[in-house]
Amino acid sequence: MNLFTGEYNNTIDEKGRVSFPTKLRSVMDQNVLIVTKGLDRCLWLFTANEWETFQSKLMNNASMMKSKSLSVVRHFIAPAQSVEFDKTGRLSIPQSLREYANLSKECTVLGIARYMELWDMQTYKDYLAASDDIFHEAAEEFNDINF
């Protein structure tokens, strides 16, 4: 399995197209990504295989009779769209997803091993600044990782 890694700053044009980093595209075996709402006002991008795994696990653990489960399913599954790369390696992000993530001109693409995130650059900077204390607390909980 190829893993996505790296942090890339890019721009999104007025039509909602973002040039996707070549290093990330080279890891993929398909010309399509599934794009959906993520957490913290970013978008999550999956290959078809990883999307199938994610949505299957989500649906298998959700109950249609529990409002919290339905809320999570509706947040991730309902807005998901398949987006194909154009000939120049750009993805056209659907308007509703651009609005959710506040995507404007500058954006950041993150490789997170098995999926990717697309952030408005300023939103990502604000998130990093606001979550610094939480990060340090969470990192201390990973006490089983030794070098």
What averages of pLDDT result for each successive group of 10 residues across the chain (147 residues)? 86 93 86 96 96 93 88 93 94 96 95 95 94 83 70
Q: What is the pLDDT of residue 145?
A: 66
- In angstroms, the Cα distances linking 15 to 61, 92, 138 are 37, 7, 38
DSSP 44-75: EEE-HHHHHHHHHHHHHT--TT-HHHHHHHHH
What predicted TM-score, i.e. pTM, was given to this entire model?
Answer: 0.90
Q: What is the pLDDT of residue 146?
A: 64
Q: What is the pLDDT of residue 50?
A: 94
Q: What is the pLDDT of residue 120?
A: 97
Is the CB of residue 104 less than 8 Å from the CB of residue 12? yes
